[in-house]
């Protein structure tokens, strides 16, 4: 996911000259967290961190408990060794994943969710549940759209 552009950091001015102002009130009043004072957007701030290809899948799979590196690699079919490393390091950096190294030979490295990571897993589960419930409908809609144009 792309990082924020400089333009996104600017303050926004929603005051409109025409009647759209009436039907489109200030964003913060309705959405609540689509934007905030300093011009950043909490949703984007989170998605810039866990919205990449693999982060959510890693978090989801760590919900089961503690998993070692290669076990995790097998769980998440299709992830490369490099991307698992990069993703885990990023999640660890944000305090979402705990990394424990056991200095044995061969080395054992265990990964698990921190309390913060566990709390994030909940809203992610909400998305996942929506996905399960509605993916068929999305496929149908898409097929219809593609058919008629």
Residue numbers at the binding site for DNA (CB under 7 A): 1-3, 5, 7, 52-54, 68-71, 78-83, 85, 88-89, 99, 101, 106-109, 111
* Cβ-based nearer residue to DNA, 97 or 120: 97
**C-alpha distances in Å from residue 149, one per residue of 7, 91, 145:** 35, 42, 6
Q: Which of residues 46-105 bind a copy of itself (CB under 8 A)?
A: 46-47, 49, 51-53, 56-57, 60-61, 63-68, 71, 74-75, 77-78, 92-96
100 binds, among DNA, a copy of itself, none (CB under 5 to 8 A by kind): none
- CB of 88 vs a copy of itself, minimal distance in Å: 13
111 in Cβ contact with 72 (< 8 Å) = yes
Q: Does 45 bind a copy of itself (CB under 8 A)?
A: yes
Residue partners of 98: CB distance under 8 A and separation at least 6: 92, 111, 112, 113, 114, 117
Task: Give the pair of three-digit tokens for residue 26.
Answer: 């200030």
Distance CA 92, CA 98 (A): 6
């Amino acid at each position: 996911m792309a990082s924020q552009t400089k333009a996104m950091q600017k303050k926004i001015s929603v005051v409109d000259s025409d009647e759209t102002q009436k039907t489109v009130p200030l964003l913060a009043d309705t959405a609540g967290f689509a934007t905030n004072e300093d011009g950043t957007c909490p949703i984007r701030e989170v998605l810039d961190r866990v919205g990449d290809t693999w982060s959510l899948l890693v978090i989801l799979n760590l919900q089961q408990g503690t998993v070692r590196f290669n076990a995790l690699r097998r769980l998440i079919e299709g992830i490369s060794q490099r991307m698992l490393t990069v993703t885990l390091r990023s999640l660890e950096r944000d305090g979402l994943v705990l990394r424990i190294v056991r200095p044995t030979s061969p080395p054992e490295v265990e990964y698990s969710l921190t309390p913060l990571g566990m709390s994030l897993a909940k809203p992610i589960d909400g998305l996942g549940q929506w996905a399960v419930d509605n993916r068929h409908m999305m496929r149908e809609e898409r097929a219809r759209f593609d058919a008629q144009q």
